[in-house]
Amino acid sequence: MRIHEWPSAERPREKLLAHGAGSLSDAELLALILGSGLRGHDAVGTARQLLAEHGPLRELLEQSPAKLMRMRGIGTARACTLKSALELAARCQLAELERGTALTDPEAAGRYFAQRLRGLPHEVFAAMFLNNRHRVIGFEEMFQGTLSGAEVHPREVLRRALQRNAAAVIVGHNHPSGNAEPSREDREVTQRLKQALALVEIRLLDHFVVGDGKPVSMAARGWL
C-alpha cells in the first residue's frame, strides 16, 4: 500500500501538519526528505531499511556525502538534500545564539560544537566569539588537521578575536576516533590559548572536545 492510501492520521506529512515535526519518528522524518522509496517500497519503508542498515539516525546523517551517495535508496540528489538539511539546522541554531540572548547555558555552546564537528573524518578546531555580554558574534572553523590531530596557532585565534572585537572566546575540536577524553596536548594548547588571549584581556571561557557522546568541557573539569 502506498503512503497516499494510508489513513490520513498515519501519513507523515499530515501528522506533521497536525501535530508538529516532533510527533514524527526518525523514519518518518527521513521519509519526508527522501520523498519516495525504492521500487516496491514506500518512502517510510525505505527510510526504516536505511536506519536498520546504517543507523541510528545520527550515524547515518553524519556519513560523508560520498558514503551517502553509495547507499541504496539515497544517491547523489538525496545525499545533497540530507547534508543541506543538516547545515540549515546548524545555521538556524547559530542564528538563535546570535539573536542577542546572552549565552548563560554552557551546554548550549557544547551542543553547537557537537552538531558542527561530530562525525567529521578529520580533526577540526573551531572558535565561537562573544561580546562583553557573552552574546555570540560569530563561529569559525579555524584549523583542519588529520585523523589524529590539528595544529592550533593561538596567535591566529587572537587575531580573529581582535578583528571581531570579541571579549570572550569558546573553542572546540573533534576527535574522529569518537573518544572525547582530552589529551595532554589538548590541555596544553588550552593553556597557551588562555595565556595569549589574556594578554589583551579576552577570556577563554571553555574548550569542548567532541566525540561520540556528550562533549567534554575543560572548564567543567577545572582546567581553565
Q: Which of the 8 DSSP states describes residue 173?
A: E
What pLDDT sits at residue 99? 58
Give the count of domains, the chain: 2
What pLDDT sits at residue 149? 63
In a shared domain, residues 67 and 130: no
Question: Which residues of the chain have a pLDDT value below 50?
Answer: none
Task: Please report, in angstroms and rounded to a whole number, the separation of the first and last CA atoms in the chain.
Answer: 59
What pLDDT sits at residue 97? 65
In a shared domain, residues 106 and 23: no
In a shared domain, residues 76 and 106: no
> Which one of 91, 113, 139 terminates a domain?
91
In a shared domain, residues 68 and 122: no
In a shared domain, residues 170 and 194: yes
What pLDDT sits at residue 148? 58
What pLDDT sits at residue 96? 67
For 128-149, the pLDDT digits (tens) are: 999 998 888 889 999 987 655 6
**134's torsion region: left (phi>0), alpha (psi -120 to 50) or beta?**
left
Does residue 79 lie in a domain region? yes
In a shared domain, residues 83 and 108: no
What pLDDT sits at residue 160? 96
Enter the pTM of the model: 0.69
> Which one of 73, 91, 109 terminates a domain?
91
122, three cell numbers: 578529520
Closest CA to 112 of 178, 170, 197: 170
In a shared domain, residues 158 and 55: no
> Which one of 36, 68, 91 terminates a domain?
91
Does residue 223 lie in a domain region? no
Q: 134, 104 in Cβ contact below 8 A? A: yes
Q: Is the peptide bond before 56 cis (omega within 30 degrees of 0)?
A: yes
For 190-211, the pLDDT digits (tens) are: 999 999 999 999 999 999 999 9
What pLDDT sits at residue 91? 78
Domain of 122, in residue numbers = 100-217
Does residue 224 lie in a domain region? no
What pLDDT sits at residue 203? 96
In a shared domain, residues 117 and 207: yes
CATH number at 128 reads: 3.40.140.10
What pLDDT sits at residue 204? 97
171, three cell numbers: 573553542
What pLDDT sits at residue 38? 86
In a shared domain, residues 122 and 139: yes
